Structure 1
Amino acid sequence: MNAIILFDVLLLVVLLLIGVPVPLCFAAAVLLLFLVGDFGSASFLVGAGFGQMSSLILVALPLYIIAGNLMGQGGIATRLVGLADAVFGRLHGGLGVVVIMTTAVFGAISGMASSAVAAVGKIMIPRMVERGYDRGYATALVSTSAVLALLIPPSASMIIYGWVSGTSVTASFLAPVLPGVLLVMLFCFWNRVLTRHMPLEKPAQAALPVVVRDIAGQTRRAALGLAMPMIILGCIYGGVTTPTEAAAIAVLYAIPISIWYYRELRFTELHGVLWRAGQTAGTLLVLVFFSAMLARMLTMENVPQMVLEGFLGITENPLLLMLLLNLFLLLIGMFMEDVSGILLATPMLMPLVQALEIDPVQFAAIIATNLGMGLITPPTAPILYFGALVGGSSLSRMLRPTLILLLGAYLPVVLLTTFIPALSLTLPAWVLGYGH
């Protein structure tokens, strides 16, 4: 049976690489194992899939997707860019900082890296090219910064992780925040270094009162959009609502802001936005259904225990095991997007996580940073390919800045998150009293 399981995993990866829709890839893996294995009746597995989907926390996913789509099409990205440009745009290389900050905030609102690439990239990449930035660098910066959506709450990936692992979603939201802030700082540092010799258009200078008025005006325009993640997190951590109820509030908040305040979304267009969000959410829930079935089948075949024994068969050194854990997650992130990676990797790696005495909340940050790094690591790098499509750049022009940002920013954050538990556990302890 071990050979069949290896073939099943290989089939899953090959189908993902050739572009088969992700839910169908997991469905094929389930079907293959069911046909060759002894798992009882199909109704048992289907019941297992539906049983896992009955969790109330999963209702938050489509609601956050709807809220993100509403704010994305409702003009929030444009106003966030305007505010960040007013604050940082007059610095040398300031548009790069604008991209980093905007994608971090918009990623927090949408919860998905691809949404941040689409919304921010369409606005910022042409503007950066006009001001002298290399198109490959501009596209690479947007793509790599968009992965901050996995780390800045409320994150759809952390909802999935909390559901799969049985870990507190509110604590999982907070775990990757400090790694995300550190990543923003390193991105800004490397942006300064990489733009030193670019023929950038000299930033317009203005008197301090003019700058202050500009920032104040842009803040007023973006305030209601910026308030959205604050309202969501305030409701959750203030003990007012659950994450699911906060997601419903986010949708009710986003509709009037997008239609009547920003006035960039017509009421007649609301149906289209909800339909597209429903398609995304429906696809995601089908993926959750089949992944729950696959996880049950792999558990019945003792695959998590086999993974643990396989790692321990290589080495029993805790330091090397932590590095192997990161490498395993990075490889998964290279072949599939974050939600699929979490659904597949979490149940498989939990025995190893427990053996290494890693706190499950710290593992939330470890898995988020590693899968995020995998999304932008060549040769597969799904977010880089999407960014190249949005930015009209070739991957070869994006490769050098991407590798510098990976090795000089992302890799250090991954290692620090892995080996310094306080980086991911401090905020949950302060805010929630976690671990006390």
Structure 2
Amino acid sequence: MSPLVIVDAGLLTLLLIIGVPVPFCFAGAVLLLMIFGDFGAASFLIGAGYSKLSSVVLVAIPLYILAGGIMGSGGIAGRLVDLADSVFGRLRGGLGIVVILATAVFGAISGMASSAVAAIGTIMIPRMEERGYDRGYATSLVAASSVLALLIPPSASMILYGWVTGTSILACFLAPVLPGLLLCLALGSWNYVLTRKMPLTVQPPATRREIGFEVISRAKRAGAGLMMPLIILGFIYGGVTTPTEAAAVAVVYAIPISIYLYRDLNWRDLSEVIWRAGQTTGVLMVLIFFAAMLGRIWTLENVPQQIMEGFLTVSANPVVLLLMANLFLMVVGMFMEDVSGILLAAPLLLPVVTRAGVDPIHFSAIVATNLGMGLITPPTAPILYFAALIGKANLASMLKPSIIFVLFAYLPVVLLTTFVPALSMWLPNLILGQ
């Protein structure tokens, strides 16, 4: 590996550590190579960036972001929370289960962990505190659950992974589903354990008939919102639409539901939602542009092959290679959100894991679970910090439950996903015949 590339990787790491916004970190790394390297005309590298941005697959990402914004502002997210609360709210620790389920559903539709934190956290953290939950714990649980957005389809992260690696996006949607369900179960179990000594208050007991009526009533109110993920996935796997077209269907469906049926959103509010989605999309497009340029340069410098050779000098054992790849992914996730991590890590590590006999579809689930764990792993933990801002919680009070979630919920799921390929491959094999 050339000294300039090593310096460039060091610069990228340094900028990330000191807290420079991620798109500018990639831009700085690209500018260093353009100024001091010999990679031909600048137009060659700029063309590499623009060629990536011109992909129709990327249109799905801003559409899912917009759909998630409409859900959060249009009352759909709140009604999903109320429905889950009617089912689990009378159980001790039931609000924690509500957080896990609501965040998984909302994150799946919006496709981004940060969107799930913002939408569900603002609703659930104050409600949990009112019922006796420690605010730091509630915020930590929201952060840990939000990472399910990477695993439950349709996921923006899996769209990017499929696009970057040339893997079937439909298969990538399916691969992390079973790991995601396992993670829901693990988080729910630890929620029960960690809340046993909290002075929780639960809803007063009711008869089965009363509970049934309440669930049916709230299901009717939330029914239109609940149909949204079913419609999206039904259209995709039924062959009616592509994932990009399904994202457009999600937006078209969410607007009349929020404005005319639920009436929690008006046209002026919608313009603000569109503006915020546009800002987020703009940041992502800048990031993808510079990441594509950096990837082109590193490919010219044979960085992926040199990383593989470096791993092989340690060991050619497939188990060791996978453990090193997992460690690499977790560290990347600690410094970047999932989009940046996938753009950087997936092309670099794919030759390594392919050498270890891992199918690219299986690797999509490995990437999703590892980056998700990195997002909430101290000391960097970008999603943990974002949740602390949303929940107005003391970060110190969040560390203990976060570490428990990482070590005893995420890490077992990561290892199972890595070393039990059937966990990731069963659904793609069953539905798509991969």
Asked whether the two chains share a fold, i.e. TM above 0.5, the reply is yes
Task: Letter of the 2:200 partner, please give it.
Answer: L
- Looking at structure 2, the residues matched to 199 and 275 of structure 1 have their Cα atoms a distance apart, in angstroms, of 42
Q: Distance in 2 between matches of 1:39 and 1:392?
A: 47
Gapped regions of structure 1 (runs ≥ 5): none
Q: Is the 8 A contact 1:92 1:203 kept in 2?
A: no
Q: State the alpha-carbon separation in 1 of the partners of residues 70 and 126 from structure 2.
A: 24
Q: Deviations over 1:339-383 (max 9, x none)?
A: 000000011112102211110000000000000000000000011
Please report how far the alpha carbon of residue 89 of structure 1 lies from its aligned counterpart in structure 2 after TM superposition.
0.5
8 Å contact from structure 1 (residues 157, 342) kept in 2: yes
CA distance in 2, matches of 1:412, 1:165: 26
- 1:81 corresponds to 2:81: yes
Aligned length: 434
The offset of 1:2, in angstroms, is 2.5
For 1:135, the equivalent position in structure 2 comes to: 135
Q: 2:259 is matched by which residue type in structure 1?
A: I
Post-superposition shift, 1:13? Answer: 2.1
Q: Which amino acid aligns with 2:28?
A: A
SS of the aligned residue for 2:358 comes to coil
Output aligned runs, 1:47-196, within 5 Å.
47-196=47-196
SS of corresponding position for 1:265:
coil
Is 1:353–2:353 an aligned residue pair? yes
Partners of 1:129 and 1:70 lie apart in 2 by 26
Q: CA deviation at 1:67?
A: 1.1
Structure 1 residues 5-29: Cα deviation after superposition (integer angstroms, max 9, x where no partner): 1221121122223332222211111
Stretch deviating more after TM superposition (174-183 or 56-65): 56-65
**CA deviations over 1:68-126 (Å, ceiling 9, x no partner):** 11111111121011001001010111111111111111111111111111111111111
Deviation at 1:415, TM superposition (A): 0.2
Query: Runs of 5+ in structure 2 lacking a partner?
Result: none
In structure 1, the residue matched to 2:27 is 27
Provide the residue aligned with 2:427 in structure 1.
427
Q: Render the CA deviation track for 1:216-237: whole Å, top value 9, x for unaligned.
A: 0111111111111111111110
Deviates more, 1:296-305 or 1:390-399: 390-399
Deviations 1:256-301 (A, max 9, x none): 1111111111112222111111111121111111111110100000
Aligned residues: percent identity? 65
* Letter of the structure 2 residue corresponding to residue 15 of structure 1: L
| Cα distance, 1:144 vs structure 2 | 0.5
Q: Which residue of 1 aligns with 2:309?
A: 309
Distance 1:21 1:254 in 2: 31
Per-residue CA distance 1:145-197 (angstroms, 9 max, x = gap): 11101101111100110100000111101110000000000111111111111
Between the aligned partners of 1:224 and 1:433, the Cα distance in structure 2 is 32
Distance 2:364 2:184 in 1: 19
Residues 161 and 342 in structure 1, CA contact (< 8 A), matched pair in contact too: yes
Amino acid at match of 2:288: V
Aligned twin of 1:298: 298
> Which structure 2 residues correspond to residues 410-425 of structure 1 after superposition, within 5 A?
410-425=410-425
Show the counterpart of 1:220: 220
Q: Deviations over 1:371-404 (max 9, x none)?
A: 0000000000011111111112111111111111
Distance 2:203 2:265 in 1: 32
Alpha-carbon distance between aligned partners in 2 of 1:308 and 1:213, rounded to the nearest angstrom? 59
User: What letter is aligned with 1:373?
Assistant: M
For structure 1, which segment, 199-208 or 164-173, has the greater mean C-alpha deviation from structure 2 after superposition? Answer: 199-208
Partner residue in 1 for 2:230: 230
User: Residue 233 of structure 1 aligns to a residue in which SS?
Assistant: helix
- Equivalent in the alignment of 2:390: 390
The answer to whether the Cα contact below 8 Å between 2:318 and 2:357 also exists between their aligned partners in 1 is: no
Q: Measure the CA separation in 2 of the matches of 1:421 and 1:370.
A: 15
- State the one-letter code of the partner of 1:265: L
State the alpha-carbon separation in 2 of the partners of residues 308 and 36 from structure 1: 26
What letter matches 1:40 in structure 2?
G
Distance 2:11 2:195 in 1: 43
Cα distance, 1:130 vs. partner? 1.2
Distance 1:350 1:240 in 2: 31
Distance (whole Å) between structure 1 residues aligned to residue 135 and residue 271 of structure 2: 35
Cα contact 1:162–1:172 (8 A) shared by 2? yes
> CA-to-partner distance for each residue in 1:123-144, whole Å, 9 max, x for gaps?
1111111111111111111111
Q: Which residue number in structure 1 is paired with residue 343 of structure 2?
A: 343
Partner of 1:241, secondary structure, is coil
Distance (Å, rounded) in 2 between the aligned partners of 1:356 and 1:136: 41
The aligned counterpart of 1:207 is 207
- Please report how far the alpha carbon of residue 4 of structure 1 lies from its aligned counterpart in structure 2 after TM superposition: 1.9
Q: Where in structure 1 do 4 or more consecutive aligned residues deviate above 4 Å?
A: none
* TM-score using structure 2 length: 0.98
Distance in 2 (CA, whole Å) between partners of 1:316 and 1:349 is 15
Question: What's the TM-score, normalizing by structure 1?
Answer: 0.98
What secondary structure, in the 3-state scheme, does the structure 2 residue paired with 1:162 have?
helix
When structure 1 is superposed on structure 2, of 230-239 and 260-269 the one drifting more is 260-269
